[in-house]
Every structure is written in C-alpha cells, then in structure tokens.
Amino acid sequence: MDTGGETAQHDVVLSFVGTQAKVQKSGMVFPQNLPERSWEQIGANLRELVNSSAWWLADWLIFGEATYGWRRYKEAIERTGLDYQTLRNYAWVARRFEHDRRRDGLSFAHHAEVARLSPPEQDYWLRKAEQQKWSRNELRRALRASLAAQSGDAAAIPGDGDGEERAASDPAQPAAAGRGPRKVTTLTIELSADQLEHYSKAAAAHGLPVGEWVTQVLATADRHTAESGTA
C-alpha cells in the first residue's frame, strides 16, 4: 500500500460545534442546511475561544518560566513554533492582571489597552468599558481623550455624562481639573536598532505606532511621578 502521498488528517474536538459542522485542523466544513442561529452561535463561541487562548498561552508561558526556568521555557517556546515576542507580550499583559481581576465580559485586547496603567486605573477603565459595552477601539479612544484632557486639550472624556461626579467618587478616574495647557515641544531620543525593535513590538502589542506608544508611556510615568510627589 502506497502511503507516501497520504496526509494524516485529525479532527479537532470543539464541544460547542457538536455535529453541526465538521472541524479539522485546517478548517471547518458546514452543512448546507445549517440553521442561521446555529451559525451565529458557533461564531460567538469561536470568538470566546480566540480570546481565551491568549490568556491560556500567557499563563502557560508564565508557569513555564516560574517552574522550569528561563532557558528551559525559552526552548519549549521555540519548539512550539509560535512567535516568541507575541507570546512575551501576552505574558506581560497577563502579569498585570491577577486572575480575579480579569473580566470575562471583555477581550484580552481590552485588558492590553489598559495594562500600562496602575491597578486602580485599570479597574476603572475596564469597569467602564464593560458597563458601556465598548469595543477595544472605543476604549482606546476614551483613553486617548482622557490623556488629552489631562494636557488641557479637551474638557472632558467623551461618552461619560457623569464624569465630574465619578472623578470625585472614584480615585482611579484621571482628573483634568487644575491643569492648564502645556507647551508642546519636540523630544529626540536616540535608540539602538535592538531598542527600536523592542519598543516597536511593545507598541504593536497595544496597536499603536511606536511614537504614540512612547508618548503614552511618558505621560503615564509623569502622572505617577506627580502622584508619588504629593503622597
């Protein structure tokens, strides 16, 4: 029997699909009579699976590093064939959120958007995103508007009708009051090729150009410095 041209095709087990479709490693085959409602539900479940897989990979990475050490865990990653820097970015986000602070109603990308903030600020923005049913992009726009407000470029955070009240009651709410307009200057930073690559990848993990990411990091550091100086 000639088996040289044969390829092994293994079915993938996805319990939520059941018998509604045939799932293989290289794709999914649907019957022509699949009800629309079933098709929608499969899509919703696939979305949750994709979101969960980012958390799973991140926690797998963190466990390997803590349990087997840096070198052994790096070797394991290389053997998976997965993108090393992407996994490292996943792990960085996961380390910023203990399991009980992760919100199942929001995606991994939502958490990544606020990962650079302090824990109280993270909780505030994630709670707001969940209440307002914001997409990742809507959360990003709200964060940018908040940064602009703190710089005196905007009066309030869009989409938050009770901004002043919440600022007084929620210490995590970034407040714009008391801050006048700041003079805009140009800052030149010299980076090595390795540093530029590293920062570019970190920025990409947040879906930002490297220049904009650096600006947000500096703004956050400035805010934290001001807070520690008044503590």
All structural domains of the chain with their residue ranges: 22-28+35-180, 185-224
- Reduced to 3 states, what is the DSSP secondary structure of residue 195? helix
Please tell me which of 30-34, 94-98, 196-200 the model is most confident about, judged by mean pLDDT.
94-98
pLDDT in the model for residue 103: 94
Nearest to 125 by CA among 113, 155, 137, 145: 113
pLDDT tens digits, residue range 20-42?
Answer: 777 776 787 788 888 888 888 88
Confidence of residue 229 (pLDDT cuts 50, 70, 90): low
Strands (E), 71-148: none
pLDDT in the model for residue 93: 94
pLDDT tens digits, residue range 108-138?
Answer: 999 999 999 999 999 999 999 999 999 999 9
Which backbone phi and psi does 27 adopt, to 5 degrees? 160, -175
pLDDT in the model for residue 197: 64
Higher per-residue confidence, 225 vs 138: 138
Contact 25, 10 (CB under 8 A): yes
